[in-house]
Structure 1
Amino acid sequence: MTVTAQKPQSTSDRPKIRPTNIAQQSWIMVKRNMIHTKRMPEMLSDVTVQPIMFVLLFAFVFGASIATGGSASYREFLLPGIQAQTIVFTAFVVASGITADVEKGIIDRFRSLPIRRSAVLIGRSIASLLHSSIGVVVMAVTGLAIGWRIRGGVLDAVLAFVLILVFGFSMIWFGILIGSVMRSVEAVNGVMFTVLFPITFLANTFAPTEPMPHWLRVIAEWNPVSSLAQAMRELWGNGGPAPASAQLPLHHPVLATILWSLALTAVFAPVALYAYRRRTAG
């Protein structure tokens, strides 16, 4: 029996590894996450089916029982609130995705590649913003179908959508923190529902804050979600300015939303990066 020795592959036959920068690496991660969503379209249910369900449920079931106390209809009062709730849940998407990648060993595989660790986070963050933006568009179309209208100027309307993305970016860091600390997707679900649902309901998202007890109204009006919702209502022309008795953030909602976004990012970003590095350290 003769044994034929195989000639070892020369280095010239191997595919060349081209150096890439952080932007290219991050974009690859974005495409990876979007392809994952394309292959599992049921992952879009939280930004397609659920927003439509919330809009129709509150507009037709609860809308007749809730007085807005202003010139705008409840449907115009409602849409900015649901938009704010949807972008807050961007943190949920990020946290679940990071935890799932760590559980499945995907992060370990990424560490063996010639890419920066931060590219994984940037790609995940951008993909999550795109994911949540689908929900914003779906709700806007649904709102237009049931009578919601943008009554402000074009620049004000664009600024409102920009504020949504800016606030969503700050919530991403909270999601990275939770996704890096929690050990399972089930734990992420429990923590995020426990934290995010009270934040989005204890605000002016679905009902005015004026009828609340004074101490509860103060908490609700200092809630950054209230500032975001009030800013969108004013920019879209879906209601007038806050009443004189409202807390300071609601009298300057656009500025308050920007400041809240910067503050949340400054608080959560360093802690989230530390937790992520510690979780993925080999």
Structure 2
Amino acid sequence: MSLTLPPITPAPMPRAPRSVLQRLRWLISDSWNVASRDLIHWIRQPVRLFSSVMYPVVSILIFGYVFGNAVMVVGGWNYREFLMPGLFGQSIVLGVGVTLVAIAEDTNRGVNNRFRTMPMSRAGYLAGRSIADLLNSTLDIVVLMLCGVAVGWTWHLGFGNVLIAFGLLMLLRVAMIWLGIFLGLIIKPENTSVVWTVLLPLTMFSDTFVSPQMMPEWLGTISEWNPLSATVGAIRELFGNPGWPGDSWVSTHPMVMAVVWPLAIIAVFWPLSVRRYRSMS
């Protein structure tokens, strides 16, 4: 007796949402799924977690205690009061490398192509990557703040200003995320080390650790116009920490430039990243 099996009918592909509300729900769901994937990868790599936590401690020890005694701050302030906002900003900018490496590895392994062929929001992958990086950066800043409090740093102008300063840091991180996404889509994983060699000097060519007035004139000008200098100067004002007053317009209006610079970077690299992602074969 022969047994006849019924024909196998493939499952129908889910329909793409049509209304604006349905598309928004689709985007939020897919973005969180991608972000959860990235966070799980991060948690399951203890070396990355350890390095993320240890970096603030090592930075404070090196710059706060090794070099700090050689730097005099205007007004007789403790150098670590001047240093900590600079370390907050440096940590945010160095996050470009984290985003870049993750995007480059996904591109090299074909993960991006797999997501693009799945029935999911076209913006879900990039948005999910952004959410994961923002959460990681939030943890980094919290750890840095706790380390700063442990060595004598604090804020002096109220918790409301702390929230505004944190918002400015996250705004800069969003700008760095889109810069990192664009670079990650065009750079191969084996070439990402070149970006790290450029990032660290760029964070030094700012008022992160010393005043631009202590640098050669041409380097001091570059430092004053560095987007990192604007954010660091702004959060120093919000925290009530000491800074270095400059003579140029950009150095005397850090609050304005701390918003203008990140928005300008986002306006350039957001559309470039989306266009590059959509045009990938």
TM-score (norm 1): 0.90
Whole-Å separation in 2 of the counterparts to 1:221 and 1:100: 34
How do residues 250-261 of structure 1 correspond to structure 2 at under 5 angstroms?
250-261=251-262
RMSD of the alignment, in Å? Answer: 2.0
Note if 1:40 corresponds to 2:45.
yes
How do residues 48-59 of structure 1 correspond to structure 2 at under 5 angstroms?
48-59=53-64
Note if 1:205 corresponds to 2:211.
no
Which residue of structure 2 aligns with residue 237 of structure 1? 240
Q: 1:195 aligns with which of 195, 198, 209?
A: 198
Note if 1:6 corresponds to 2:11.
no
Which residue of structure 1 aligns with residue 21 of structure 2? none
How do residues 94-243 of structure 1 correspond to structure 2 at under 5 angstroms?
94-184=99-189, 186-190=190-194, 192-239=195-242, 242-243=244-245
Deviation for aligned residue 1:194: 2.9
Cα deviation per residue 1:32-78 (whole Å; 9 max; x = unaligned)?
11111122232224421112111111111111111222343111111
Deviation for aligned residue 1:272: 2.1
**Residues 66 and 26 from structure 1, CA distance in 2 versus in 1: closer, same or farther, beyond 3 angstroms?**
same
**Residues 10 and 138 from structure 1, CA distance in 2 versus in 1: closer, same or farther, beyond 3 angstroms?**
same
The structure 1 segments of at least 4 consecutive aligned residues displaced by more than 4 Å after TM superposition are 14-20
Deviation for aligned residue 1:180: 0.6
Note if 1:87 corresponds to 2:92.
yes
Which residue of structure 1 aligns with residue 81 of structure 2? 76
Whole-Å separation in 1 of the counterparts to 2:122 and 2:150: 43
Whole-Å separation in 1 of the counterparts to 2:277 and 2:51: 25
Gaps of 5+ in 1: none
Cα deviation per residue 1:81-132 (whole Å; 9 max; x = unaligned)?
0100111122111111111111112112212211122110000011011112
Whole-Å separation in 2 of the counterparts to 1:16 and 1:177: 31
**Residues 64 and 25 from structure 1, CA distance in 2 versus in 1: closer, same or farther, beyond 3 angstroms?**
same
Whole-Å separation in 1 of the counterparts to 2:262 and 2:197: 21
CA contact (8 A) 1:47 1:138 kept: no
Deviation for aligned residue 1:16: 8.8
Gaps of 5+ in 2: 18-24
Identity %: 37
Whole-Å separation in 2 of the counterparts to 1:201 and 1:249: 18
Whole-Å separation in 2 of the counterparts to 1:10 and 1:181: 41
**Residues 117 and 189 from structure 1, CA distance in 2 versus in 1: closer, same or farther, beyond 3 angstroms?**
farther
Whole-Å separation in 2 of the counterparts to 1:206 and 1:79: 9
Note if 1:23 corresponds to 2:28.
yes
Q: Return 104-113 or 125-134, whichever deviates more.
A: 104-113
CA contact (8 A) 2:73 2:242 kept: no
Residue 70 of structure 1: SS of its match in structure 2?
helix
TM-score (norm 2): 0.90
Whole-Å separation in 2 of the counterparts to 1:264 and 1:246: 25
Which residue of structure 1 aligns with residue 250 of structure 2? 249
Residue 117 of structure 1: SS of its match in structure 2?
coil
**Residues 275 and 70 from structure 1, CA distance in 2 versus in 1: closer, same or farther, beyond 3 angstroms?**
farther
Q: Return 39-48 or 168-177, whichever deviates more.
A: 39-48
Letter in 2 for 1:271: L
**Residues 269 and 15 from structure 1, CA distance in 2 versus in 1: closer, same or farther, beyond 3 angstroms?**
closer
Residue 67 of structure 2: SS of its match in structure 1?
helix
CA contact (8 A) 2:53 2:140 kept: yes
